[in-house]
Amino acid sequence: MNARVVRGGRLRRLGDVLQDDGERGVGAGHSAFVGQLGPGEFRFTAAGVTTRYYIDGGFAQVRTNTVTVLTAKAVKAGELTATLAEEARAAAEKLPVTNSVDQVSRQKAIARASAMARVAAKN
Protein backbone atom coordinates (compact mmCIF):
# COMPACT_ATOMS: atom_id res chain seq x y z
CA MET A 1 0.00 0.00 0.00
CA ASN A 2 1.25 3.48 -0.86
CA ALA A 3 0.26 6.77 0.77
CA ARG A 4 0.47 10.21 -0.81
CA VAL A 5 -0.44 13.69 0.37
CA VAL A 6 -1.21 16.40 -2.16
CA ARG A 7 -1.02 19.92 -0.76
CA GLY A 8 -0.51 23.20 -2.49
CA GLY A 9 -0.29 21.42 -5.82
CA ARG A 10 2.74 19.33 -4.82
CA LEU A 11 2.74 15.55 -4.52
CA ARG A 12 4.56 13.94 -1.60
CA ARG A 13 5.06 10.19 -1.42
CA LEU A 14 4.73 9.18 2.19
CA GLY A 15 4.77 5.49 2.98
CA ASP A 16 3.06 2.16 2.98
CA VAL A 17 0.09 2.11 5.38
CA LEU A 18 -2.26 4.90 6.39
CA GLN A 19 -4.53 5.60 9.32
CA ASP A 20 -6.13 8.88 8.34
CA ASP A 21 -7.32 10.52 11.56
CA GLY A 22 -7.50 7.57 13.91
CA GLU A 23 -11.05 6.73 12.91
CA ARG A 24 -10.37 4.47 9.97
CA GLY A 25 -7.44 2.20 9.43
CA VAL A 26 -6.53 1.34 5.85
CA GLY A 27 -4.35 -1.59 4.93
CA ALA A 28 -3.29 -3.46 1.81
CA GLY A 29 -6.24 -4.77 -0.18
CA HIS A 30 -8.72 -2.33 1.39
CA SER A 31 -11.82 -1.68 -0.70
CA ALA A 32 -11.93 1.54 -2.70
CA PHE A 33 -13.57 4.60 -1.18
CA VAL A 34 -13.47 8.39 -1.07
CA GLY A 35 -14.00 10.12 2.26
CA GLN A 36 -14.02 13.62 3.66
CA LEU A 37 -11.53 14.30 6.46
CA GLY A 38 -11.86 16.83 9.23
CA PRO A 39 -8.88 18.66 10.69
CA GLY A 40 -6.70 16.41 12.81
CA GLU A 41 -3.99 13.79 12.79
CA PHE A 42 -2.96 11.79 9.73
CA ARG A 43 -0.55 8.98 10.51
CA PHE A 44 0.97 6.06 8.70
CA THR A 45 3.49 3.37 9.44
CA ALA A 46 6.19 2.29 7.01
CA ALA A 47 9.00 -0.14 7.88
CA GLY A 48 7.88 -0.05 11.51
CA VAL A 49 8.19 3.74 11.81
CA THR A 50 5.07 5.83 12.40
CA THR A 51 4.98 9.32 10.89
CA ARG A 52 2.38 11.84 12.04
CA TYR A 53 1.02 14.95 10.34
CA TYR A 54 -1.57 17.55 11.23
CA ILE A 55 -3.89 18.00 8.26
CA ASP A 56 -6.35 20.82 7.79
CA GLY A 57 -9.14 18.51 6.62
CA GLY A 58 -9.60 17.47 3.03
CA PHE A 59 -10.37 14.24 1.22
CA ALA A 60 -8.93 10.74 1.20
CA GLN A 61 -9.14 8.34 -1.71
CA VAL A 62 -8.27 4.66 -1.43
CA ARG A 63 -7.82 2.80 -4.70
CA THR A 64 -5.66 -0.14 -5.78
CA ASN A 65 -3.46 -0.15 -2.68
CA THR A 66 -2.87 3.60 -2.84
CA VAL A 67 -4.17 6.19 -0.40
CA THR A 68 -4.18 9.78 -1.62
CA VAL A 69 -4.95 12.62 0.79
CA LEU A 70 -5.85 16.01 -0.66
CA THR A 71 -5.48 18.82 1.87
CA ALA A 72 -4.80 22.54 1.94
CA LYS A 73 -2.32 22.14 4.79
CA ALA A 74 -0.12 19.32 6.08
CA VAL A 75 2.43 19.92 8.84
CA LYS A 76 4.67 17.31 10.44
CA ALA A 77 3.28 16.78 13.92
CA GLY A 78 6.71 17.27 15.48
CA GLU A 79 6.77 20.84 14.13
CA LEU A 80 3.56 21.76 15.99
CA THR A 81 3.75 23.25 19.45
CA ALA A 82 1.16 24.26 22.01
CA THR A 83 2.20 27.87 21.38
CA LEU A 84 1.43 27.60 17.65
CA ALA A 85 -1.96 26.07 18.43
CA GLU A 86 -2.71 28.81 20.97
CA GLU A 87 -1.73 31.49 18.43
CA ALA A 88 -4.02 29.89 15.84
CA ARG A 89 -6.88 29.82 18.35
CA ALA A 90 -6.30 33.46 19.36
CA ALA A 91 -6.31 34.49 15.69
CA ALA A 92 -9.51 32.50 15.09
CA GLU A 93 -11.23 34.10 18.05
CA LYS A 94 -10.37 37.56 16.68
CA LEU A 95 -12.09 36.90 13.35
CA PRO A 96 -14.99 39.29 12.85
CA VAL A 97 -18.52 37.93 13.08
CA THR A 98 -20.93 40.17 11.21
CA ASN A 99 -23.14 37.50 9.65
CA SER A 100 -23.81 33.75 9.67
CA VAL A 101 -21.09 33.04 7.08
CA ASP A 102 -18.49 34.80 9.26
CA GLN A 103 -19.73 32.85 12.27
CA VAL A 104 -19.28 29.51 10.50
CA SER A 105 -15.82 30.52 9.27
CA ARG A 106 -14.82 31.49 12.80
CA GLN A 107 -16.15 28.21 14.24
CA LYS A 108 -14.20 26.21 11.65
CA ALA A 109 -11.01 28.15 12.40
CA ILE A 110 -11.44 27.47 16.12
CA ALA A 111 -12.02 23.77 15.38
CA ARG A 112 -8.81 23.66 13.32
CA ALA A 113 -6.87 25.30 16.16
CA SER A 114 -8.31 22.80 18.64
CA ALA A 115 -7.29 19.91 16.39
CA MET A 116 -3.78 21.39 16.14
CA ALA A 117 -3.60 21.51 19.93
CA ARG A 118 -4.61 17.84 20.22
CA VAL A 119 -1.92 16.80 17.73
CA ALA A 120 0.72 19.01 19.40
CA ALA A 121 -0.16 17.54 22.82
CA LYS A 122 0.97 14.11 21.62
CA ASN A 123 4.51 15.38 20.90
Cβ contacts of 72 within 8 Å, gap of 6 or more: 7, 8, 56, 57, 58
User: Looking at residue 97, what is its pLDDT?
Assistant: 96
Q: What is the mean pLDDT of the chain?
A: 81
Confidence of residue 107 (pLDDT cuts 50, 70, 90): very high
Backbone angles phi, psi at 78, to 5 degrees: -65, -20
Answer for the pair 91, 45: CB distance below 8 angstroms, yes or no.
Answer: no
Measured CA to CA, the distance from residue 84 to residue 67 in angstroms comes to 29
67-85 pLDDT per residue, tens: 788 888 889 999 999 999 9
Measured CA to CA, the distance from residue 46 to residue 89 in angstroms comes to 33
pTM, 2 dp: 0.77
User: Looking at residue 111, what is its pLDDT?
Assistant: 93
Would you list the domain boundaries of the chain? 2-77, 80-121
Q: Percent of the chain, pLDDT > 70?
A: 80
User: Looking at residue 34, what is its pLDDT?
Assistant: 83
Q: The domain 2-77: what is its CATH number?
A: 2.60.15.10
